[in-house]
Structure 1
């Protein structure tokens, strides 16, 4: 599938996986990037091509226990849910809840950093969740997802009027509680912790460089949603920002769908296997 990558993007990938010894972090959102967007988040699955490409890259990165590339999954999903859906190759980094949760895939399973809220944050989260629960009453198709540090309004299956009313109520609740509302594709996530995918990606870059004994690392980040723009915003020279699907974006590169992402991952694996990543 890597023959689907050409032109400007192909050149950028070659520069990403240069032979100068700089570590490479391949960081991927899940929904809309590796898995098509679906009405029911519990039904989300990687496409066969994306699954195979992730596994091939993971096997190359970790097969010999060496190398200078690392793989990460960065999602708005709860960390445990992300780990279950992504089935990450051993050694992968995981970031859940837009950066509020972090973990590492080991042979024994997911190793995560405990997330603890203060009593005040716990109380605010309870008030927030109650407000969102009220916002979806009588609005068919709108529902509220609970996370360890956030509540999420889902409106993908709601009609336009119900969706607009629920979103307005969620925004009002966030403002009243002094919280930021993150608007994505048919979702509004409100967290009691300040997080963003951009901050999470910067931390991952530092971790990878430190773990591999290098002063810096280059990053490819692939995302599809408005929340991914904060990750694109922290990328710089030598990095690759990859937008998946339509929409305005800061990213310099774009592929149409998860199978396009699979082609990019396969090309990275080929470049690493050719010796550029050794």
Structure 2
């Protein structure tokens, strides 16, 4: 049995468990068109069943906007959805004050001007910010746009910037997945957390894990997670194992 198998079996039997998962690159393979992303059937089935078990909370913690996350994942209650790196919880959206709303309007206008006419570059509007996507842009275009964003609006006071894979998120309030995980922990009070993510934005959550928790990095790259798997297919197998052990012990 691998160290990860052992960790999954151990965390599966705690009295109260929180399973928190990134979506893209974890439950769903990365695809050229973000709106085409869908969870692997085996993963969708596993977390759907996990969420019905007693004292078991399943949450998706994504950089996507909340409405977008719901649309591509197909999930809703009892699975919790947290979007925009924690700026949007499914029990209430981001609340901005007048200064933040004004900043958001200025940010949107500046970003639209920067990306206008740039091939393959798209903007994703969120309640507390915007994301600049360059996955489908030529490499030189993506680099040029990101440099313009970093030296422009990303440098403004009151703008929080979160880099990811071919995306740069800008928000008018402080958000990250680590803070979102902390808030989930406060609300749920689990005995242990299993968190899986593939992006640099997930490192803030890995850094918040405590003794007894399980962190799983999906794919390559430096990480604070203790465990690693190659891709979404292995996450599907992990979730099946977690479900089997937890259901048998708590049935």
Contact 1:208 1:217 survives alignment (8 Å): no
Structure 2 portions without partners, runs of 5+: none
- Give the Å deviation of 1:177: 3.9
Distance 2:44 2:93 in 1: 28
Write out aligned runs for 1:145-224 (5 A).
Answer: 145-172=124-151, 173-209=153-189, 216-224=190-198
Contact 2:13 2:246 survives alignment (8 Å): no
TM-score w.r.t. the length of structure 1 is: 0.85
Q: Relative to structure 1, is the Cα distance of residues 267 and 158 closer, same or farther in structure 2, using a 3 angstrom cutoff?
A: same
- Residue among 5, 8, 11 paired with 1:13: 8
Q: Report Cα offsets for 1:66-117 as digits up to 9, x if no partner.
A: x2221111111111221222222532222111111111xxxxxxxx314332
- Equivalent pairs counted in the alignment come to 250
| Residue equivalent to 2:87 | 100
Distance 1:85 1:163 in 2: 25
Contact 2:48 2:79 survives alignment (8 Å): no
Contact 2:129 2:172 survives alignment (8 Å): yes
Contact 1:124 1:177 survives alignment (8 Å): no
- Residue among 40, 45, 62 paired with 2:33: 40
RMSD between superposed Cα atoms in Å:
1.6
- Residue among 60, 70, 78 paired with 1:91: 78
TM-score w.r.t. the length of structure 2 is: 0.94
Q: Relative to structure 1, is the Cα distance of residues 170 and 242 closer, same or farther in structure 2, using a 3 angstrom cutoff?
A: same
Q: Relative to structure 1, is the Cα distance of residues 224 and 115 closer, same or farther in structure 2, using a 3 angstrom cutoff?
A: same
Q: Structure 1 residues 232-241 or 128-137, which shifts more?
A: 128-137
Structure 1 portions without partners, runs of 5+: 1-5, 62-66, 104-111, 210-215
Distance 1:176 1:194 in 2: 14
Distance 1:271 1:37 in 2: 29
Distance 1:257 1:73 in 2: 17
Distance 2:56 2:158 in 1: 40
| Residue equivalent to 2:208 | 234
- Give the Å deviation of 1:36: 0.8
